[in-house]
Amino acid sequence: MMRNINRQLEFLFAEWKDKSARNAEHECDKHFVKDGIVLAEGKTEDIAEKEWCQAKRRIAFLLKDQNQGSKDFWDDDNRTWLTKGKSDTTFFLKIKNLFYSLSSVGKKSDRQIWIEEINKEKINSLLDSVPFVMVECKKQPGGPDIESKVLKEYIYKYHNFLSLELEILNPNIIVCFGGEIYDFAIRHFASDGVIKIFQNVYYDDKMKRVFLYAGHPSGRDSYKDHYEGVMYWFRKFVNKEYESERDYFAEMFE
């Protein structure tokens, strides 16, 4: 069933951008980066939205802000990045590795998904039928680095908008790139039914969502280290390596 996600986001972004521009301290603060369901080659917004709504595992990656040093890209839309030649950067390849594995891992021994099993063909085949979401938590364009204090202040100021964006998108696997974002997701977006499974994994028992901590994909860690920093813990969650009679992963999809 179609939910008109992009239409809802456009209304939200307009209000968010207006408030952000009124609070602007610098010229770049008046600009606004849009995001949401990332379009694969040949996909329209309507098709991508339909596939997203029908997906069993709806994976959202929560990022800090866009590294946009040039004014030409201060109003960029990351939903089009896969079609703009950015998909083979180290940053994007780390995200796509996680997307493939989080979409595919299961309880069986042959479905643990090690990074050596992943290749471009498998990722592209998955993207043909299942999209993913990218959300920039700070919508104003930034540079290669952002101070923790600046990111925290922005998220605190606009956390209601950010929470509403996630409600509209309705992901059930949420990857948080960095501690500030992980803290926001658990404190402000998760319901009062959130449960700590491991340090890097929280489960929202009421909304049937899992929250995962991840290092930022622009970091210097290797592909494998970045990948296992997330997948080690997610496999433990999937394989029920925690003390509880309940199988939360199975309950997510009942």
pLDDT value at position 77? 80
Cβ pair 200, 178 in contact under 8 A: no
pLDDT value at position 253? 84
* 24 Cβ contact partners less than 8 Å away, ≥ 6 residues apart: 30
pLDDT value at position 26? 65
Quote the tokens at residue 213.
């901590």
Question: Cα(162)–Cα(35) distance, rounded to whole angstroms?
Answer: 11
Question: Cα(234)–Cα(136) distance, rounded to whole angstroms?
Answer: 23
**97 has a pLDDT exceeding 60:** yes
Residue 83 class from Cβ within 10 Å (0-12 exposed, 13-18 middle, 19+ buried)? middle
**118 has a pLDDT exceeding 90:** yes
Please report which helix (H) or strand (E) contains residue 251, including its range. helix 248-252
pLDDT value at position 218? 82
* 127 Cβ contact partners less than 8 Å away, ≥ 6 residues apart: 40, 82
Mean pLDDT confidence for 188-215: 96
3-state class of 12 per DSSP?
helix
pLDDT value at position 145? 61
Q: Has this prediction a pTM greater than 0.75?
A: yes
Among the listed residues 194, 224, 223, the one whose alpha carbon sits nearest the alpha carbon of residue 207: 194
Confidence of residue 123 (pLDDT cuts 50, 70, 90): very high
CA-to-CA dists, residue 89 to 81, 93, 94, 95, 217, angstroms? 11, 6, 9, 10, 10
Cβ pair 49, 3 in contact under 8 A: yes
Among the listed residues 61, 64, 55, 53, the one whose alpha carbon sits nearest the alpha carbon of residue 79: 61
Confidence of residue 1 (pLDDT cuts 50, 70, 90): very low
Report pLDDT digits (tens) over 127-184. Answer: 999 999 999 988 876 655 667 788 888 889 989 999 999 999 999 999 999 999 999 9
CA Rg value for the chain: 18
